[in-house]
Amino acid sequence: RRRHTRYGTVTGVQTCALPISLKVLDAGKTPEADREMRQRFMLEAAACARLNHPNTVRIFDYGKTWDDVLYISMEYIHGRTLHHVIRQEAPLPLQRLLNISRQICGSLREAHLALCPNCGGRMELRCVVQGRATRKVLEGLERSRGPP
């Protein structure tokens, strides 16, 4: 399964040990855009690799290949996105909404405290629901350059 994100393409991959998601940076349209995208991509990888909340996707490795392709290897999360759950099951019971919200807030709290203690931060949040558990992926994590 392939999904396109703001910076690259995410593909599910089966390794010898476990399934992973491999995010590969798509090249920018101009050298300046490409340079900025590459920098943001690596900052995102380094920042997310420091997180370890149970509801945050784990980063296994990141870097660049011998031919200069940037990648992030991360935990593969199987499930439906929160967007799809809401569209298919709305209205959700209050207890389920509270459970999902608690998990998201816990993960975001860790990210904020670890990565943005003295600044605003912009994050793109994707949530995946696995039964009663919610997993999330932070993308585009960066220091804010002013109001969003």
CB 9 within 8 A of CB 2: yes
Provide the pLDDT for residue 87.
93
**Band of pLDDT at residue 95, cut at 50, 70 and 90:** very high
115 CB-contact burial (10 Å; exposed 0-12 / middle 13-18 / buried 19+)? buried
CB 111 within 8 A of CB 141: yes
Q: Which residues does residue 61 pair with via DSSP β-bridges, in sequence order?
A: 73
Provide the pLDDT for residue 93.
92
32 CB-contact burial (10 Å; exposed 0-12 / middle 13-18 / buried 19+)? exposed
pTM of the model: 0.68
| Mean predicted confidence (pLDDT) in 76-94 | 88
Which has the closest alpha carbon to 8: 27, 30, 25, 28?
25
Model pLDDT for residues 23-63, shown as the tens digit of each residue:
888 766 556 778 888 888 888 888 889 899 888 889 999 99
